[in-house]
Amino acid sequence: MKIGIVGVGHTKFGNLTEDIGELMFKACTEALKDANTTIDKIDVIYIANFSSSFVNQCHLPALLAARLGINKEIIRVESACASGGIALKEAAFAILSGIRKTALVVGVEKMSSTPIEKTTYILASAAGPIEIQHGATFPSLYGLIARAHFNKYQTSERHLAEISVKNHLNATLNPLAHFHKEISVEDVLDSRAIASPLKLLDCSPISDGGAAVVLCNEEIASHVEDVVYIIGIGHDVESIYLMDRKDLTVMPAVINAAQKAYQMCNLTPENIDVAEVHDCFTIAELIEMEDLGFCDKGKAGEMINLGETKIGGRIPINTSGGLKAKGHPIGATGISQVIEIVKQLQGKAGKRQVKDAKVGLCCNIGGSGSTAVVSILSKLHKK
């Protein structure tokens, strides 16, 4: 497959004053401008948004139509924190089918205006009812995953801390990131426990933000300077319950989604030069490193020890700062990952540029990894 990404728009991530309509509008208009096109040239719009409960706003398609002053086919999709990835895939498939030539995909979440107790309650809606009834929260579910990996593979809190330190350092190089604060391994290890072994600085923050991309078919893309192509995309969903997982150290949906994506473009993990993976908690980045095939199962700790995921390493991961430090406005995250890879492949990532990046990968997951979308991007050569 070859779906062109010809424009990107990305608001600042953080505690913002803009409302949800404005965040969508800003990301969309910036992406359209970057694509040197106008909204009337767009065949369909997909919106990714996790929960209408934060600001009590459903029906975002009609809200965006109002904001843009248009009428058009607009669809909202949701699959917890993987909503952005799902929207990208639905739009890419609509173009691949030949039914659409162009699509605008926008992800958005407005979280910071919601009281924290309500936010905790809303976030739980991405877990299964039995888990929630038993008092589980996402930190506690990911805490179980971390403990299982520690026990089976001798990984440690220090490995996780290194992930947080790296992502915070990368974020200092990203003007749009939520946090611009360098931290040390000791800062992470000394931060207060949230759900053992996870500590405050193992967890991604509550952020507002919007991100949008303009997609088009191969024919249109072939005329565009600096186009980046989606060359593979895979999606898989399995049980919402961690208790249904045979081995807590594995995310089968990530393995399946990655396999589909690699097969689509006939590439292997060895071909990936740079990746954005879903570090809602540091342990998630570590598990995904393995399940995406960047190292053997159980060897992510060694890869971290060797500094292979730092900028300048073998496969730099989360050069944007990741969810941990760039921020995690849930619906926007999957699209934001894609934008970072586009910039890396275009050589426009500024101070965080990975040298000679030719192929990049995004891994966007939902819940405790029960939904996964993996996309592979490449600049390819111009026709």
Residues that bind a second copy (CB under 8 A): 19, 21, 50-53, 56-59, 61-63, 65-66, 69-80, 86, 90, 93-94, 96-99, 121-122, 124-129, 235-241, 244, 252-253, 256, 366-367, 370-371
What b/e string do you get for 69-83 counting C-beta neighbours within 10 Å, with b at 16 or more? Answer: eeeeebebbbbbbbb
What b/e string do you get for 362-371 counting C-beta neighbours within 10 Å, with b at 16 or more? Answer: bbbbbbbbbb
Contacts of 382 (CB under 8 A, 6+ apart): 222, 227
Phi, psi dihedrals of residue 5, rounded to the nearest 5° = -105, 115
Task: Show the beta-strand stretches assigned E in 158-307.
Answer: 193-195, 198-199, 209-216, 228-237, 274-277
Residue of 178, 328, 362, 363 marked catalytic: 328
Residue type for position 196: S
Rounded to whole angstroms, the Cα distance separating 22 from 304 reads 39
Give me the least distance between CB of 62 and a second copy, in Å please: 4
Distances in whole angstroms, Cα of residue 39 to Cα of each of 65, 67, 98, 131, 214? 11, 12, 19, 43, 10
Cis ω before 61 (30° cut-off from 0): no
Give me the least distance between CB of 75 and a second copy, in Å please: 6
Among this protein's residues, is 81 annotated catalytic? yes
Judged by CB, which is closer to a second copy: 43, or 276?
Answer: 43
Among this protein's residues, is 328 annotated catalytic? yes
Give me the least distance between CB of 45 and a second copy, in Å please: 8
Give me the least distance between CB of 371 and a second copy, in Å please: 6
Contacts of 259 (CB under 8 A, 6+ apart): 234
Kind and range of the H or E run holding 258 = helix 252-265
Q: Provide the CA 203 distance to its chain's centre, in angstroms.
A: 15
Residue of 81, 203, 216, 363 marked catalytic: 81
Give me the least distance between CB of 59 and a second copy, in Å please: 4
Name the residues annotated as catalytic: 81, 328
